[in-house]
């Protein structure tokens, strides 16, 4: 998609590209030292290290077009990867619902990338039906702390996390969306056991986490007791927008098209095959439509509005597109996509084809399954009401 940029936006685009070029990783450098120096330099640019944070918390206050330029440029460039849980998910909740003391306590370390966070939402029997969670948090008799017992599952990066933001059940007497409380507590303490879950692609990124009599000071509660569902919904909207990965998919699709031109088919290449080319074209059209939706979301955000139900559209379609890219990568790699290891035969891009495809199966599940997103879209975008019969 071509966006006609104003002179000021073209100047910003050049500034972004110069920044990325000047601060790119050089082979042989210490990666961790480069990573922290990159964020420090970005901070000195006026909040470029936290591009989505509002100006009152140190963000750059970019326009939707500037955000678009940044997302496109950083998707192509070699930039240090960030854990999203603190920066993109918890931080907006702290800004919107946390006390000033909590903001001062947690936000600086989140910005400095000093603390790794994980998300305690899904449970055995309460994944997409999040409001059905059972992990209990009981207030002590003196009212000073909660005692947490229960289990969370699919907890991404819990094995390296320093802290967790966790949904707990403090009251089960009313509707299941009520009585949920949002707590923050350290992972490195007695009563917390982390067990790895190895995914289809052979990676260890998710875990099962057991809590046994874990004490959480009451000052680590976000907002009011029993109002955690309200905060959780806002956090999920931020998460779903990020999971869509539109800019990354644009880059991945361009890479796939280039890779397909290296695969021989008859007297030409795979990209000369009408059937394969049609799949690529259909995918490109769908990706363009989702990109327009993302731009509308950015425009809404520029007015101060938080992510709305369109975040479910982005998550639904964005993750489906990621899966389709992985599937077409496997198709392009052919039999070589099934091979594992760094020295396997065939095209280099095919070596990770099957592992990438298997890993992508979870994209339409985590962050709210596609079925849940369709319910949200039906209710809040299409305004389809449930039948009373």
Domain ranges of the chain: 7-81, 117-227, 244-380
Residue 254 to residue 52: CA distance in whole angstroms: 26
Residue 172 to residue 184: CA distance in whole angstroms: 20
Averages of pLDDT over runs of 10 residues in the chain (389 residues) are: 75 96 94 95 96 94 86 87 90 94 97 96 81 93 97 95 97 87 97 94 91 98 93 65 77 92 92 95 93 73 60 87 94 86 75 84 81 83 73
pLDDT at 153: 94
pLDDT at 300: 62
pLDDT at 241: 59
Residue 146 to residue 232: CA distance in whole angstroms: 19
Q: Which strand (E) or helix (H) includes residue 385?
A: none
pLDDT at 305: 56
Q: Which pair of tokens denotes residue 9?
A: 């936006």
Residue 149 to residue 225: CA distance in whole angstroms: 17
pLDDT at 235: 62
Query: How far from 197 is each of 41, 93, 332, CA to CA, in Å?
Result: 37, 28, 30
pLDDT at 370: 83
Residue 383 to residue 203: CA distance in whole angstroms: 40
Nearest CA to 244 among 155, 305, 321? Answer: 321
Q: What CATH number has the domain spanning 244-380?
A: 1.20.140.10
pLDDT at 1: 47
**Candidates 71, 123, 239, 320; catalytic one:** 239
- Which residue's structure tokens are 């290296």? 262
Query: How far from 15 is each of 8, 45, 66, CA to CA, in Å?
Result: 11, 10, 11
Contact (Cβ atoms closer than 8 angstroms) between residue 64 and residue 57: no
Architecture of the domain made up of 117-227 = Beta Barrel (2.40)
Contact (Cβ atoms closer than 8 angstroms) between residue 51 and residue 59: yes
Contact (Cβ atoms closer than 8 angstroms) between residue 273 and residue 262: no
Contacts of residue 114, defined as CB under 8 A and 6 or more positions apart, other chains included, come to none
pLDDT at 217: 98
Examine the residue annotation and report whether 100 is marked as an active-site residue of this protein.
Answer: no
pLDDT at 86: 94
Residue 170 to residue 78: CA distance in whole angstroms: 44
């Amino acid at each position: 998609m071509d966006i006609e940029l104003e002179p000021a936006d073209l100047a910003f685009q050049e500034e972004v590209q110069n920044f990325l070029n000047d601060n790119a990783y050089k082979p042989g450098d210490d990666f961790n030292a480069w990573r922290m120096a990159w964020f420090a330099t970005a901070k000195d640019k006026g909040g470029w290290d936290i591009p989505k944070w509002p100006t009152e918390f140190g963000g750059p206050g970019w326009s939707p077009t500037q955000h678009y330029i940044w997302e496109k440029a950083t998707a192509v460039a070699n930039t240090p990867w960030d854990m999203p849980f603190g920066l993109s998910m918890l931080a907006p909740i702290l800004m919107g619902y946390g006390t000033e003391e909590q903001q001062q306590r947690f936000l600086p370390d989140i910005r400095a990338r000093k603390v790794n966070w994980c998300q305690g939402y899904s449970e055995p029997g309460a994944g997409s039906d999040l409001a059905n969670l059972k992990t209990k948090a009981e207030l002590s008799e003196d009212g000073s702390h909660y005692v947490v017992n229960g289990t969370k599952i699919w907890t991404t990066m819990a094995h390296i996390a320093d802290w967790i933001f966790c949904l707990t059940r403090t009251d089960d007497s009313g509707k299941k969306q009520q009585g949920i409380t949002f707590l923050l507590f350290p992972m490195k303490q007695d009563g917390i056991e982390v067990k790895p879950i190895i995914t289809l692609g052979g990676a260890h990124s998710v875990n099962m986490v057991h809590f046994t009599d874990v004490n959480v000071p009451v000052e680590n509660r976000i907002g009011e007791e029993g109002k955690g569902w309200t905060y959780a919904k806002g956090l999920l909207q931020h998460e779903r927008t990020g999971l869509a990965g539109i800019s990354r998919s644009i880059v991945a699709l361009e890479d796939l098209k280039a890779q397909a031109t290296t695969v021989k088919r008859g007297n030409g290449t795979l990209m000369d095959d009408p059937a394969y080319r049609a799949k690529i074209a259909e995918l490109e059209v769908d990706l363009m439509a989702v990109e327009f939706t993302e731009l509308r979301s950015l425009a809404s955000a520029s007015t101060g509005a938080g992510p709305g139900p369109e975040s479910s559209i982005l998550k639904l379609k964005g993750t489906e597109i990621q899966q389709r890219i992985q599937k077409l990568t496997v198709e392009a790699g052919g039999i070589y996509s099934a091979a594992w290891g760094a020295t396997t035969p065939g095209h280099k891009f095919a070596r990770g084809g099957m592992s990438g495809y298997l890993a992508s199966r979870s994209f339409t599940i985590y962050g709210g399954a596609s079925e849940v997103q369709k319910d949200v879209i039906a209710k809040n975008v299409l305004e389809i009401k449930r039948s009373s019969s």
